[in-house]
Amino acid sequence: MSLPRVVVGLSGGVDSSVAALRLRDAGHPVIGLFMQNWADDGSGECRAEEDRRDAVAVAGRLGIPIRFRDFSREYWDGVFRHFLDEYAAGRTPNPDVLCNREIKFKHFLAAARELGGERIATGHYARVERRGSRACLLRARDRGKDQSYFLHQLGQAQLEATCFPLGELEKGEVRRIAAAAGLPTAAKKDSTGICFIGERDFRGFLARYLPARPGPIRTPDGQAVGTHPGVFFFTLGQREGLQIGGVRGRPQAPWFVVGKDVAGNVLYVDQGHDSPWLQSRQLWTEPAHWIAGAPPAARFACGAQTRYRQPEEACEVEVLDDGRIRVRFARAQRAVTPGQSLVLYDGELCLGGAVIAATDAPALPDQRSGSA
């Protein structure tokens, strides 16, 4: 019985290179597909051409065909516009989650089928396992690299057509496999941060699309302690970039962002990593996505993450009538941020998740009265 033809998303990195290698060595007919998701904006910071060359070199080394697709228009419409809208609203989006749902497991999947692919594969660190009649998304064996958080918006149809060849491997082993096979990406540095920003300055990039206005930095009790370059550039819990000097009557201790009033153009800060203004025990989300197609129950206990790499936290989940969920944590959480993703787990099984809409953190002046 012949194995299914697999189209591998070759990104030009070591992970996708080893994913293609493992599938080829397992006997699958393999086709590589390089996706260009961001058009060159003239800044010289886009790594797409370098990544394309590396993907071609890997395909040549493996002896597999490679094809190319430009999804930059789809990325702009399906991911980047949402990214800008969220920042403009004062929230902090997670474009990697949306990119996986809209590009890698939608447009890429469609392109793979046009190429005759029966399944797709990527270099994500996660696992797919059939349990009964359902395809389940599981954490990777390497918990330090697990990327199921970014994949929680996938559904049954997508998981049925997907394999993650690195799900059982440690990152160090992946690099050793790449080196032993002579892959040109074996020692290539992993990409970090938001893909379309790359190594460039985040503020400078965002300012090209969202006009920023300087404004006051205040404490929750209204004391002015500095000036910010634009509220869009900051997120809850952030310490870097505030440039607050010595403040009369205040100790010499770090300042952290505890809130934003976008309408009033005010950034709120407080001293102390665990400021009470950053603490919450409950959150509410936008309508949730369930990988199985439905929640396990109307009320249930599970583990949750409100950001990537966060240790899993115990919580109680209540599914509301409109599809949103309310979550109560067993202990207070720091800097839970609207716009980010809440992802739910039952052990190693990813249940799904939703975008965080609000928390019960203490209300700042603009939240109490509508003005700063």
Q: Which of 46, 136, 163, 195 is catalytic?
A: 195
The token pair at 312 is: 């899993």
Closest CA to 372 of 254, 233, 260: 260
Give the separation between CA 317 and CA 303, rounded to whole angstroms.
Answer: 10
Which residue is listed with tokens 């800044």?
A: 43
Nearest to 304 by CA among 294, 295, 317, 291: 317
Q: Tokens representing 305?
A: 């993450």
CA torsion sign for 94, 99, 101, 102 is: positive
Residue 87: partners with Cβ closer than 8 Å, 6 or more residues away: 93, 206, 210, 232
Amino acid residing at 316: E
116: alpha, beta or left, given left = phi > 0 and alpha = psi -120 to 50? left
What 8-state DSSP symbol labels residue 9? Answer: E
Who contacts 60 (Cβ-Cβ below 8 Å, separation ≥6)?
A: none
Q: Write down the catalytic residue from 99, 163, 302, 350.
A: 99
Largest interatomic CA distance in the chain? 77
Helices (H), the chain: 14-25, 48-62, 72-75, 81-88, 95-99, 108-114, 156-160, 171-180, 202-207, 365-369
Which residues, 6+ apart, have CB-to-CB distance to 99 below 8 Å? Answer: 37, 75, 79, 195
Please count the other Cβ atoms lying within 10 Å of the Cβ belonging to residue 207.
15
Task: Examine the residue annotation and report whether 99 is marked as an active-site residue of this protein.
Answer: yes
Angle, helices 171-180 vs 14-25, to 10°: value is 70
Residue 136 is a catalytic residue: no
Catalytic residues: 99, 195
